[in-house]
Amino acid sequence: MTMLNFKLLLLWFCTISLSGQQIHLQNVHNRNIISLNGYWKIIIDPYENGFYDYRYQENPNGYFKNKKPASESDLVEYDFDRSDSLYVPRDWNTQNEKLFMYEGTVWYKKSFDLKISEGKRYLINFGAVNYNAVVYVNGDKIGEHTGGFTQFTFEITKYLKGEKNFVVVKVDNKRLREGVPTLNTDWWNYGGITRDVSVIIVPETFVQDYFIQLAENESNTIKGWIKLNGNNTGIPVKLSIPEINLNETLTENDNGIFNFEFNANPKLWDTENPYLYKVKIIGGQDTTTDRIGFRNIETEGSTILLNGKPVFLKGISSHEESPITNGRAATEDDALAVLEVVKELGCNYIRLAHYPHNENIIRAAEKSGILIWSEIPVYWTILWNNSQTYSNAENQLTEMISRDKNRANVIIWSVANETPRSDSRLKFLRGLIDKARALDPTRLISAATELSYDENKMIIDDPLCEILDIIGANEYLGWYGGKPEDAQKISWVSKFNKPLIISEFGGGALYGFHADKNTRWSEEYQENVYINQLIMLDKIPFLQGMSPWILMDFRSPRRPLPGIQDFWNRKGLVSPEGNKKKAFYILEQYYKSKKTWRNNDFGN
């Protein structure tokens, strides 16, 4: 890509966010914020009575006005202050049993005091709201967002009225055929304001966004861009990384975007030494600091290279569920609890399935040297020919990349999971892949593709693989079809000279249920699946990683089997109560003694 195209694309990337009132704000947590976390008042509204009038037209005086009766005869049929409360950040399903399986609208309201200062601007940021959010401040609509797993930011300066303010959010988690994801998934449809909410105070001109990484496939060039928001005529930007004596003043900019490229020789970030540099950016009266790691990730034939050296991704898949609340994970405590088990398992990599996870797990994993596969919920039977569905998917991809593009441990952007082969699917995904590469040429693109099977041969021949850097593939030999031992008859063939990651394999077990290894749902059955899978996979020369399905049992409406599932998918290596199943120790042994593992006799 020529520098001109790169600049034109950046201009598009950064301005598109302004036109829809939404602002792509980098490094929210390190800004001057007022947290709106805590209890919000709520109104459960399955008929959207607070949004539509009885003729089903948008009501200009809906619940978002937070009206009070003007007199004793005045008719107001709602009252936030006398309604229930819900904690933010957290899903509503695990806070209120009336909402455990609820799919529809819940109104949230939070009052906040704010001392307005001349020369300051005020933004509001939501870490995530599942699935659709309409945001109002002091009764005025300020914006709308679709997509349950990516952050969004609006400017609210002109909506603030003195010190006493309130924000109302209409949250609707109804699944939609044209949605992303679509109607059918194998995870719980947790609704609510599921991540942090902050009011952010910035100067008139502030550092809105930046991308600071090693240049592609180079270890001694730091390249990127910084975007100012506000009147930036003649305002220089200062970029400093003190530990490598980098102190640069940038003056040239394209409409507020300052591109740069410097020689530097930073200590490289890797899984053993996850070194992060303190980076400071000054633009106008705004200063923001971040901690950034520098590394290269690339492929060479069927090998993945981290800083030029082959790396095998010893991973595990994970949904975003908290071992503490057994609901949507959101906090740093949730992240640290998950990472503790991941490290005990001997992993250097996590597949964060099937949607972008919260920033706490990404940043905590970055500090621990754990590599990340991050994915948008283009899952199963998406409406490939629907242009709004495509725009929604592309927007969620853009927001995922925008938030985490400076995180050294994020090495893979995944655009799909188990999507049925078709021309329209390939066209849809090709668009997303082109977009991802344009937004971020420094990372690898993958997806969980579809395998072919013929006469004991697993064949990697999905045309999607042609346009991926790394081939992901899910297979459940021994669980969905065949016996675990059948894996020993299988050989693997790939039509592509590219690295393969087995992005899912596994089987279910109820923790504490013990029987012989042929008894479905016993820990011994699951253990036998892992043993036979690992013996088979260990022989594939182009296999460069795996993320077995899955770290922890997780809730799913597709898994009702009484006494065994009870609406939990039991493929976890760990139970919701934190108990490790026998298969956990098989995978741990494989990861921690891979060299000698092949000779181990697992009693087969």
What is the contact surface with ligand GCU in residues (CB under 6 A)?
A: 186, 354, 417-418, 474, 504, 549, 569, 571
Residues 6+ apart with CB under 8 A from 283: 205, 206, 207, 226, 228, 232, 235, 237, 238
**Closer to ligand GCU by Cβ: residue 416 or 445:** 416
**Amino acid in the structure at residue 260:** F
Minimum CB distance to ligand GCU smaller for 417 or for 449: 417
CA separation, residue 24 to residues 20, 254, 326 (Å): 11, 17, 30
Nearer to ligand GCU, 130 or 417 (CB): 417
Q: Shortest Cβ distance from residue 181 to ligand GCU (Å)?
A: 10
Of 27 and 556, which has the nearer Cβ to ligand GCU?
A: 556
Distance of CA 387 to the CA centre of its chain: 23
Residues in Cβ contact with 403 at an 8 Å cutoff, skipping those fewer than 6 apart: 26, 150, 151, 356, 359
**Nearer residue to ligand GCU within complex by CB, 125 or 547:** 547
Q: DSSP characters for 581-593?
A: PHHHHHHHHHHHT
Nearest residue (CB) to ligand GCU, 26 versus 185:
185
d(CA 522, CA 504) in angstroms, rounded, equals: 20
Q: How far is the CB of 252 from ligand GCU (least distance, A)?
A: 47
Token pair of 175 as six digits: 């699944």
> Whose CA is closest to 5, among 442, 399, 441?
441
Shortest distance (Å) from residue 548 CB to ligand GCU: 11
Q: Kindly state the tokens that stand for 389.
A: 């569905």
**Residue closer to ligand GCU, measured from CB, 302 or 414:** 414
| Rounded to 5°, angle at Cα 30 from 12 and 27 | 25
Nearest distance from C-beta of residue 380 to ligand GCU, angstroms: 8
> In angstroms, what is the minimal distance from the CB of 554 to ligand GCU?
8
Please state the closest distance from residue 418 (CB atom) to ligand GCU, in A.
Answer: 5
348/474 with CB nearer ligand GCU: 474
Handedness of CA 590, 592, 598, 604 (dihedral sign): negative
- Closest approach, Cβ 147 to ligand GCU, in A, equals 18
CB of 277 to ligand GCU, least distance (A): 36
Between CA 310 and CA 132 the distance in angstroms is 42
Nearer to ligand GCU by Cβ, of 13 and 549: the residue is 549
Task: Please identify the residue of the shown chain whose CB is closest to the bound ligand GCU.
Answer: 186
Residue with tokens 């894996």: 487
* 166 burial type by CB count under 10 A (0-12 exposed, 13-18 middle, 19+ buried): middle
Give the C-alpha separation, 397 to 177, whole Å: 19
**Minimal distance, residue 508 CB to ligand GCU, in Å:** 8
